[in-house]
């Protein structure tokens, strides 16, 4: 495995893609086993309970997301430092919407992995103690009170329509 995931409270569903259709084809079956890594539950191993039949190459294996990603507690404070329980990435809170569970941060300092926050890891407030699992991390969306990049892009899409042709000519 390249990434063991994080935040699993129960073993996830493992889905193995079926082999090419033939008279002897039978889909393999896998079972995930959980272990503890620090404060997070991670996938320790995937066991093959039925190897299936008819595979000529390695099949695609899909693991379901953790079930309790929306569960969490507390309220993040404005400008407090938060960190990822697994990645040790730190950032400052710029906005927290408790209804939508959207946390906007700035000054992200990447942890030792150089990958930023991991989906599924718990984001913990150092002052507030608030903790919520991360569902999606949009690394390229820069939040700054002086930039309005997203608004300009949305409004510009309404002005120029590139869907049918290039209004500036063809090349």
Inside any domain, residue 85: yes
Based on the structure, what is the number of domains in the chain? Answer: 2
Instruction: Tell me what pLDDT residue 107 has.
Output: 81
**92 and 57 belong to one structural domain:** no
Inside any domain, residue 126: yes
Instruction: Tell me what pLDDT residue 69 has.
Output: 47
**93 and 47 belong to one structural domain:** no
Could you tell me which residues are beta bridge partners of residue 42? 35
* 37 CB-side CA count, 13 A: 18
Inside any domain, residue 139: yes
Instruction: Tell me what pLDDT residue 147 has.
Output: 67
**123 and 85 belong to one structural domain:** yes
Inside any domain, residue 122: yes
Inside any domain, residue 70: no
- Mean pLDDT by runs of 10 across the 171 residues of the chain is 72 84 82 68 82 88 70 88 86 89 84 64 90 76 63 74 70 62
Q: pLDDT digit string (tens) for 159-169? A: 766 677 776 77
Inside any domain, residue 57: yes
Global pTM value: 0.47
**134 and 92 belong to one structural domain:** yes
Domain extent, residue 42, equals 14-63
How many whole angstroms separate alpha carbon 149 and alpha carbon 54?
Answer: 51
Inside any domain, residue 156: no
**91 and 53 belong to one structural domain:** no
Inside any domain, residue 50: yes
- For residue 106, what is the DSSP state? E
Closest to 4 measured CA to CA, from 51, 63, 52: 63
């Amino acid at each position: 495995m390249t990434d063991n995931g994080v935040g699993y409270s129960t073993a996830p569903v493992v889905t193995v893609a079926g082999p090419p259709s033939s008279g002897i084809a039978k889909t393999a079956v896998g079972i995930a086993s959980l272990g503890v890594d620090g404060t997070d539950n991670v996938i320790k191993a995937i066991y093959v309970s039925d190897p299936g039949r008819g595979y000529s190459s390695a099949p695609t294996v899909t693991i379901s997301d953790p079930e309790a990603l929306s569960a969490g507690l507390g309220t993040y404070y404005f400008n407090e430092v938060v960190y990822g329980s697994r990645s040790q990435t730190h950032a400052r809170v710029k906005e927290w919407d408790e209804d939508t569970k959207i946390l906007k941060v700035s000054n992200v300092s990447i942890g030792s992995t150089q990958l930023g926050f991991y989906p599924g890891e718990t984001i913990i407030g150092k002052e507030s103690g608030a903790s919520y699992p991360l569902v999606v991390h949009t690394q390229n969306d820069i939040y700054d009170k002086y930039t309005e990049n997203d608004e300009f892009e949305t409004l510009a899409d309404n002005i120029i329509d590139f869907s049918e042709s290039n209004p500036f000519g063809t090349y």
